[in-house]
Structure 1
Amino acid sequence: MHRFLAPLAALAFIVVPTAASATIYAAVPITHAPLGRIMASDISWYCGSDACQGSSEESRPLVLCQGLAARTGRLASFLADGRAFSPTELDRCNSRARGPAPLARAN
């Protein structure tokens, strides 16, 4: 009987998929975001007094950033697993922010 169960037990470990790990996201809104939970673009954000944080198995940081910006306004920074968005990426994210776009500064 053990000879029959051993191959089945081994097969069970091979067939069972491993769970994907969630990516941690953090953002700092330019203006204060509403405190508490915000649902935006397949992620549940928790916003405190200084920043918003969430985690998701989604692998589209730009889309998640744009969804949060649409709900909170422009973001000063956005991190995906500790990697900060570049200024160009942050500009693309903030293109979906609610409210008026900032005025260009003259030198």
Structure 2
Amino acid sequence: MNAIRNSAVRQLLPAFLALVGTAASFAVTATPARAADSNAYYSVTLAAPVAKPAKLMLGDVLWNCAGNTCSAGQDTARPVVVCTKLAAKVGTINRFATPKGELATEDMARCNTPKA
């Protein structure tokens, strides 16, 4: 009787571990999308509000814009480069900040200068 029970446990254990691993991988994969919304790395104030709330995918970063503000999770590029990409899509940016602080005046000028 004991041998039968041990045999069943041995057969079910790999399936159970696969199920737990799959659930864990889904949880880890879904976390960055939620983090971009609730724990924004970039905080932006636009010169003119967007017509309606929008989600913009610029590179690997999802931007959420509503009214005259936008926010997004962290990108691997320098903040002034990220700012320039966003400004090309939404227009003039008045304020671009990260947890390390706001962009300097000269970087804001570069951010808002259209690329030729």
Higher relative contact order (CA 8 A, sep 6+): 1
Q: Does 1:31 align with 2:48?
A: yes
Computed over aligned residues only, the root mean square deviation of the Cα atoms, in angstroms, reads 2.1
Mapped to 2, the partners of 1:84 and 1:61 lie a distance apart of 9
Give % identity: 25
1:1-107 correspondence runs (5 A) = 24-33=41-50, 34-96=52-114
Give the secondary structure class of the aligned counterpart of 2:57.
Answer: strand
- Structure with larger Rg: 2
Residue type of the alignment partner of 1:50 = N
TM-score by length of 1: 0.62
Give ranges in structure 2 of 5+ residues lacking alignment: 1-35
Normalising by the residue count of structure 2, what TM-score does the alignment of the two structures yield? 0.57
Q: Name the CA shift for 1:70/1:57 in 2 (closer, same or farther; >3 Å).
A: closer
- Runs of 4+ in structure 1 deviating by more than 2 angstroms, as ranges, are none
Say how many residue pairs are matched.
76
More helix, by proportion: 2
User: 1: CA distance between counterparts of 2:85 and 2:75?
Assistant: 15
Residue aligned with 2:49, SS: coil
Q: Which runs of 5+ in 1 are unaligned?
A: 1-21, 98-107
